[in-house]
Structure 1
Amino acid sequence: MKVRHLLAAGAASLALVSHANAAETPIPAAPSSDAEATADPQTTSVGTGASDSGAIVVTARRRSETAQSVPLAISVVGGEHIDSTGSFNVGRLQQLTPTLQFYSSNPRNTAVNIRGLGVPFGLTNDGIEQGVGIYIDDVYNARVASATFDFLDVKQIEVLRGPQGTLYGKNTTAGAINITTNQPTFDFEGKAEVSVGNYNFVQAKAAVSGPLTDTLAARFAVSSTNRRGTIYNVKTNQDIQSQDNLGLRGQLLFKPSDIFTITLAGDYSEQDATCCGSVYVRTGLTQRALNRQYAALAAAQNYAAPSTNPFDRVTDLDSPLQAGNKIGGASIKVKWDVGPGTLTSVTAWRFWDWKPQNDRDFTGLPIVSKSQNPSQQDQYTQELRYNYSGDRLDFVLGAFGFYQRIDTQGTEQHGSASTKWNLAPSNALYNSNVLNGLTARNSQYLKNTSVAVYGQASFKLTPELTLQPGLRVNYDKKDGFYQRRVFDIAGNEILLSSPSTPTKTAQLGIFTPQEIAPKFSDWNFSYDFTASYKAAEGILLYATYAKTFKSGGINQNGVPTDTANNPILASATVKPESVRHYEAGIKTEFRDLNAILNVAIFRTDIKDYQANVNNGQFGVLRGYLANAGAVRSQGVEADFSVRPNERFNTYINAAYTDATYRKFVDAPCPPELSGGTVATGAQVPGAAGTPGGLSPANCDISGQRLPGVSEWSVSWGFEANAPVDLFKQDGLVYLGYDGSYRSSFSSNPSPSAYTQVAGYSLSNFRLGFRTDSGFDIYGFVRNAFDQDYFEQLFVGPGNTGLIAGLPGDPRTFGLTVRTAF
């Protein structure tokens, strides 16, 4: 904490000193910045910012071009708007980009999806690929945990929707998030920012850049965020769900000539929050016997949740909580103008170190007394590509290599309340405490190798008509290992080969020893084709078809067992997803009105969709992967922005997404249809929520919506300003507003009435004063109307009917001082 406070104080001092020394110059009618550009009809940037002029330039297709000229659905958010709206990580960015979904119960269990597609909703499994690629300065980040860190010195973020495998190093079937940071400059410049707010919120950012020699420039940036937690744990007298983030980035640019550059970059980020927990939300009847459901189990141990109102934000989790998260790495980018094109090489190494502790029973009882699965990752990537731009032909050719190793060491242990929670009163061991101290130790590793060649060309058949084919050839190989060993409280190992006893049977009902070494390898060929037509000045039509894939995977968290407790090895691997994507859109510019309107319609059909499956048991198998028959995501998106004059601009972005399982006949059942004796033969399963009823072995959820996807999501906002003379400086006083809405969504892989998250709307305001010299001071309020909402709901283990949840942030407010020099 002391380091964070020193950074905050240093940045504040830098801000005040630089403002005091800044020249007082009149502010122009339309201040200039490349951060936001809704003022110019050539732009498609999200939101409204301080400076709205000039076309947004994007590198989505590995070359610089205006966003409105790119024949794909893309949202662009400038660094200044990211800062001014408090959207300092992907979780907050989703409020500005309606088709982006972000879910995180902790940094490891994080999902980033676009149009409902990307990764299965639920506990993270290291054995599959991310469907949404995250790139920072051309470096692929394999761990989605990187999405939980604060953005650091960002110039702009491009959110690309739809498959991007013929343009990017790692294959991405749902889209890509392309983050560009500010680069070293040969002119001295800097910026600093400090924010303070309620919940002891303190955030400080600073960056400085300039020449070291005539051919060498450097840039250094730092960011620190601290905030106390929003949930109070009465058991430990702690505020949980806190923020404690530190980020550092340094870059060196060597430019001996105009045609050759080398950029060396290194970054390090860490999180050390008191995180991550949950609160009691509700209970719902399952098909378990009534005396084995939550109400009876809690009463048997004289337990009651500290509050039955989740928005009291009170919990009593008794296991230690920790979310130690470190991520970083280094890269070398070489760019060389060779003849008519540019050759680029990007070599990178990244690491990830995860040290968690969790409470997996979601209660204040010592049922699961320890749950921790620390992991370490090393990732190496090499990308080589050549870009050519001509009068009639543009193309990109690339090769990509990727190697990743993840090692995980897990410990799960049951406590003194486990026996009475998990064994029926009729069991002779009910009062024996036989499950106390039962421990599973898990060891696993993953070796993941991928190589690919890819390319995309743009043929300008006429000044109006362009054809754009692309292709990719990809090889993936995954080697995994998973071992679970089980020990009793005395440290004696429990083996499947040991003589069967009632004690052993009870203990194996919680943890089953297992060892598997799954492997997967496959070649894949994918392609896409886009045609675009400039119908008139300011009107671009385009249509895309893509046939692509997501690599097959392996189950790294164990697999189901048969009646003899042997692993079902057929479940150790999952087949690749086969993806067919169709999209059409129109991009329009209304120059007389300084407005744009873009509309896209899309449909994505996926065969062998990789779904997350949970069996509802403690520690037996928390989750594994399986192939659903088919999934479809289709919908329409619209983006509109207008700036009628220099004093006002506004935007609205909306998306309708219909993402459903088209065929999933053997899916896991929702909690209301789980927990009873499994129906066999001609037996008829009982009605949902009938205690003691028969449960189906699996459920047909064909036609139901994918988890985490709202049918409707909208973001909108405006900024108005007026010239004033304040603090003895000419400037602008401004009022900004950003709102968002999303309709209800399922928070369970199989839709359940118990885990449906109600729709909600959030409103964020800012009021401030800025000058052309770079000084900016504003107050902000987020979730201004203190909307109660859930980010996620969780089904408690064991089919007891317990539903826990993670409430979204309450109203927060504060003050920001920013300067640039």
Structure 2
Amino acid sequence: MLCASATPVFAFAQDAAPADETAVAVDDTDYGNDIIVTASKRSQTLQDTPVAVSVTSAAQLEESQIRDLIDLQTAVPSLRVSQLQSSANTNFIIRGFGNGANNAGIEPSVGVFIDGVYRSRSAAQIGDLPNVERIEVLRGPQSTLFGKNASAGVISIVTQKPQYDFGGSAEVTYGNFNAITVKGNVTGPISETVAFSIGGNYNRRDGYAQDLKLDTDVNDRNRWGVRGQLLFEPTDALSIRLIGDYDKIDENCCIAGNVIAGPTVAITNALAGGPSVDANNPFSYDVYNNFLSSNEIENYGGSAQIDYDLGNLALTSITAYRKVKALTNQDSDFTGADLIGENSQDLGIDTFTQELRVTSDFDGPINFLLGGYYFNEKIDQENDIRFGTQFRPYGDQLIRAASGNALNVALLEGTFGALEGAPTRYLGTFFRAGDGLDEAYRLKDEAFSIFGTVDFEVTDRLTLSLGGNYTKDRKNFSTNVISSDVFSGVNLDAPQYAPFRNQLLLGGALQQAGVNPNDPAAVGAFATNPATAPIFQQFLAFAAANQNNPAANPLGGLRAFQFLPPFLNLPNSVEDGKTSDSDFSYSVRAAYEVTDTVNVYATYATGFKASSVNLSRDSRPLASDLAAITAAGLRTPNLATGSRFAAPEESTVYEFGLKGQWDVAAVNVAVFKQSIKGFQSNVFTGTGFALANAGKQSTFGIEFDGSVRPVEGLNLTLAATYLDAKYDSFVNSAFGDISGTTPAGIPALSMSMGATYTHEFAGGTKAIAHVDYAYESPVQIVEGLSGFPAGVAESLQREVNSLNASFTIRLTNGLDVGVWGRNLTNAQYLTTIFPAVAQAGSVSGYPSQPRTYGGTVRFKF
């Protein structure tokens, strides 16, 4: 289907290219009937591709100033992209399905491919877009042809390959917030059979937010990259394309604003000696932190694609190696108080992939594609989270508030130590600055798949297709997590604390009777008064009977402040740290050419995503393993249950599509019912993430893409997506049983409309005016908020109204001069919200980017 926020892609009709050969670059003023896409791993016209696919051209990217995949969502209504706590955490959602950020062990449901090479994690996906020819967004399960994690869809980026005609381009952009972007590329021949291309980009911008405590701007942009290619074509039958790239990000990202100021704000304000947050005002872009959040990301790799034409058969091999290194650190309490002194991550990802396939091109009624895919990935991850210098007094205030001033940190330290026979053991240790967790995780993922499709032309107009993919995925993972958080290692149910619990139980009972337990005279009078003495004896009996009862433990409320308890590492004698999954996905499709300009298709397809591993401090054993862990003597203090990994996702889709293209118009419609069993949900709860499988999530949807050229030079576009989503079953969510509810973050209606007008003056100079508008209907942002009453999460909604525009003068000598603006309406919305870290009653959220604008000079030769 055609994309419709920016100008849809049109190119003059052309002969089908060999498999995976990219289409010729499309000029924004060329209007024809066909464009070649490779969504089905064959070169076909968009009209003849029976898949719901949106295509965005290089011209559209320029007109709308789309610089990365985050910006792309304004052009594709079914796509949603959100950047979370760092530049290395970006989430892609198609048709309401998607995950994969916040945890390197959780693989995405939306696969991202660049020139046929899978980018397995968001840290490898969010750099500035390379010298792009087009971006194809495939909607719905694509597991039949893609070997790894495409249960919700695929984003396929196709770059321009080297040319034998010397040429290139250079571009300089300057915008508000002192933004400077420089891009350039050169291509040409080395010999008659060898061509090259080399390109680079530099993108820098001051931060659009202000840190009032550190007195500096934040949320800046600082990234650059280079990319080189060699194309060898020694014969007409053989083509070898070598690609190497390197990009670097070194940015301060990402701010979170205060959405709801809870009771702890008074404490953090006092500790900060002034405002610690801009209370209830996330769109002021004013924040308070103790140190700058850092993001240093390196992403590099290379690939070799070999195509060999055997006449009726074409062989393709794509071999690739990728490396990602990400160093991040964040002041993750998002306040001016020094609560979290460090929350850092050192992440390394090594990925090797190999794809082989053979594609037929027979004159007869049957053609096929057969391939194999191998994936090998190693993840090394080290995290550190440590208390800041003010977490101890902060924790003290929390404990005082929770106990009605009956308890405090110093009292607990002295009492616990004395009862253990070591009075000084705990003095000064609870919530001590620098204590926390040292974390190390390892994951090895090895997978292979065998896939293929068969097309049978029943008649000249009717084609039936069958596809299948068998995938085997094995993961081995291990942890080495050490906690130095002393308070979190205290067993509040320990028998030696019985006298203290007895005292607290008795004091609580006396308080309920209106007697101050800290007033000996009042207690003595109550105990000896003939009228109340029997009641006092009942209180004594109650305290004695329950001093070792965990359910009545008066210290139980302190468990909420045991943030970083000792960790049960694995593998161990109960948990082997392994997953092994296999699946056969398939598709059945019928495509019918009603007329030369109208095609229809019907599809049933399944998809698969393997188990995802919880590589985080929130990794906890399954409840079903707890008895065996206890029997083996492995149980650590305060061990809670949760999940080590989430089971696979299995998706299905029923889809009917219509594609019509004429000389001056195009209409594309898809109607579908899509569902995922075992959707892998990863929800932040305020102190950690809860990884769980939803029973089933389903969506009924209608997608429309249309374009029309009513007069010469004017192209109007409209795209709209309607989604009716629900959790058919999700009993064990982080917020209880939410079966039957609408999943958060999925707007019922998303739409984008655009207009591009090109006027050619005498002499060939052109003026190109472009405008596009994106809308998302109001939607609840998150399923729920831990610790908040019902209705709070429902009241926090997101609505998007974003306007982009550009105006360009294109001279005949290849020079473009233009101005542009993104989010000209200065739309303000929260991309996501979450309970503030260790701050009960407060909510934080990531605000949208404000209005940006600037000018661009571009020269093509």
Deviation at 1:232, TM superposition (A): 0.4
Match of 1:759?
799
Alpha-carbon contact 1:39-1:643 (below 8 Å) kept: no
Single out whichever of 779-788 and 430-439 deviates more from structure 2.
430-439
C-alpha distance 252-117 of structure 1, shift in aligned 2 (>3 A): same
SS of the equivalent of 1:280 reads strand
Q: 2:387 aligns with which of 387, 391, 414?
A: 414
Q: How does 1:33-182 map to 2 (within 5 A)?
A: 37-38=9-10, 50-54=28-32, 55-105=34-84, 106-119=86-99, 124-182=102-160
Distance 2:9 2:838 in 1: 52
C-alpha distance 596-565 of structure 1, shift in aligned 2 (>3 A): farther
Deviation at 1:817, TM superposition (A): 0.9
Are positions 1:363 and 2:400 aligned together? no
The Cα offsets for residues 351-396 of structure 1, whole Å up to 9 and x where unpaired, read as 1010101121121111111100110110000000111122322321
Q: 1:398 aligns with which of 347, 371, 387?
A: 371
Are positions 1:516 and 2:570 aligned together? yes
Match of 1:471?
468
Deviation at 1:757, TM superposition (A): 3.2
Distance 1:396 1:775 in 2: 44
Distance 1:508 1:166 in 2: 48
Deviation at 1:333, TM superposition (A): 0.8
The Cα offsets for residues 310-345 of structure 1, whole Å up to 9 and x where unpaired, read as 222100011331011111101111110123111011
Deviation at 1:255, TM superposition (A): 0.8
Match of 1:29?
none
Name the aligned partner's letter for residue 90 of structure 2.
T
Are positions 1:338 and 2:310 aligned together? yes
Alpha-carbon contact 1:397-1:454 (below 8 Å) kept: yes
Match of 2:399?
424
Distance 1:576 1:125 in 2: 16
Are positions 1:384 and 2:356 aligned together? yes
Deviation at 1:466, TM superposition (A): 0.7
Are positions 1:534 and 2:589 aligned together? no
C-alpha distance 140-496 of structure 1, shift in aligned 2 (>3 A): farther
Deviation at 1:513, TM superposition (A): 2.0
Alpha-carbon contact 2:682-2:690 (below 8 Å) kept: yes
Distance 1:809 1:571 in 2: 35
Distance 1:565 1:603 in 2: 47
Deviation at 1:538, TM superposition (A): 1.1
Distance 2:188 2:105 in 1: 43
Match of 2:770?
736
Relative to its length, the structure with more strand (as a share) is 1
Q: How does 1:495-644 map to 2 (within 5 A)?
A: 509-514=562-567, 515-517=569-571, 518-557=577-616, 558-560=618-620, 565=637, 571-591=643-663, 594-617=664-687, 622-644=688-710
Name the aligned partner's letter for residue 333 of structure 2.
D
User: Given the two structures, how large is their TM-score scaled by the length of structure 1?
Assistant: 0.85
Distance 2:586 2:489 in 1: 51
Q: Which has the higher contact order (CA 8 A, sep 6+)?
A: 1
SS of the equivalent of 1:644 reads coil
Distance 2:253 2:709 in 1: 42
C-alpha distance 80-430 of structure 1, shift in aligned 2 (>3 A): farther
Relative to its length, the structure with more helix (as a share) is 2
User: Given the two structures, how large is their TM-score scaled by the length of structure 2?
Assistant: 0.81
Q: 2:744 aligns with which of 707, 716, 722?
A: 707
Deviation at 1:85, TM superposition (A): 0.9
Deviation at 1:584, TM superposition (A): 0.7
The Cα offsets for residues 53-76 of structure 1, whole Å up to 9 and x where unpaired, read as 242110111121111111111100
Distance 1:454 1:526 in 2: 9
Match of 1:263?
241
Single out whichever of 553-562 and 145-154 deviates more from structure 2.
553-562
Q: Which has the larger radius of gyration?
A: 2
Single out whichever of 786-795 and 396-405 deviates more from structure 2.
786-795
Distance 1:537 1:506 in 2: 69
SS of the equivalent of 2:70 reads helix
Match of 1:771?
811
Deviation at 1:49, TM superposition (A): 7.4
Name the aligned partner's letter for residue 465 of structure 2.
Q
C-alpha distance 664-630 of structure 1, shift in aligned 2 (>3 A): same
Distance 1:610 1:792 in 2: 18
The Cα offsets for residues 1-21 of structure 1, whole Å up to 9 and x where unpaired, read as xxxxxxxxxxxxxxxxxxxxx
Alpha-carbon contact 1:90-1:102 (below 8 Å) kept: yes
Are positions 1:461 and 2:447 aligned together? no
Q: 2:728 aligns with which of 632, 637, 662?
A: 662
Q: 1:792 aligns with which of 826, 832, 843?
A: 832
Deviation at 1:235, TM superposition (A): 1.4
Distance 1:352 1:144 in 2: 10
Deviation at 1:78, TM superposition (A): 0.4
Alpha-carbon contact 2:355-2:374 (below 8 Å) kept: yes
C-alpha distance 319-496 of structure 1, shift in aligned 2 (>3 A): farther
Name the aligned partner's letter for residue 103 of structure 1.
S
Superposition CA RMSD, Å: 2.8
Match of 2:202?
224
Single out whichever of 363-372 and 312-321 deviates more from structure 2.
312-321
Are positions 1:482 and 2:479 aligned together? yes
Distance 1:433 1:494 in 2: 11
Distance 1:198 1:269 in 2: 24
Q: How does 1:228-243 map to 2 (within 5 A)?
A: 228-243=206-221
Unaligned 5+ segments in structure 1 are 1-33, 285-292, 670-698
Name the aligned partner's letter for residue 41 of structure 2.
R
Distance 1:381 1:463 in 2: 38
The Cα offsets for residues 445-487 of structure 1, whole Å up to 9 and x where unpaired, read as 1111110000012111101111111001110011111222122
Q: 1:210 aligns with which of 188, 194, 197?
A: 188
The Cα offsets for residues 485-536 of structure 1, whole Å up to 9 and x where unpaired, read as 12269xx996989998899988981211211232100221111111111122
The Cα offsets for residues 602-629 of structure 1, whole Å up to 9 and x where unpaired, read as 1112222211144432xxxx21421111
Q: How many corresponding residue pairs?
A: 735
Name the aligned partner's letter for residue 718 of structure 2.
I
Distance 2:585 2:94 in 1: 20
SS of the equivalent of 2:283 reads helix
Distance 1:113 1:568 in 2: 31
The Cα offsets for residues 578-617 of structure 1, whole Å up to 9 and x where unpaired, read as 22211111111233xx101111011112222211144432
Match of 1:720?
757
Alpha-carbon contact 1:205-1:222 (below 8 Å) kept: yes
Alpha-carbon contact 1:159-1:178 (below 8 Å) kept: yes
Single out whichever of 742-751 and 532-541 deviates more from structure 2.
742-751
C-alpha distance 323-757 of structure 1, shift in aligned 2 (>3 A): farther
SS of the equivalent of 2:141 reads coil
SS of the equivalent of 1:173 reads coil
Distance 1:358 1:366 in 2: 12
Are positions 1:435 and 2:434 aligned together? no
Deviation at 1:295, TM superposition (A): 4.4
Are positions 1:304 and 2:275 aligned together? yes
Percent of matched pairs sharing the same residue: 31
Alpha-carbon contact 1:140-1:169 (below 8 Å) kept: no
Alpha-carbon contact 2:684-2:835 (below 8 Å) kept: no
Deviation at 1:429, TM superposition (A): 0.8
Alpha-carbon contact 2:8-2:717 (below 8 Å) kept: no
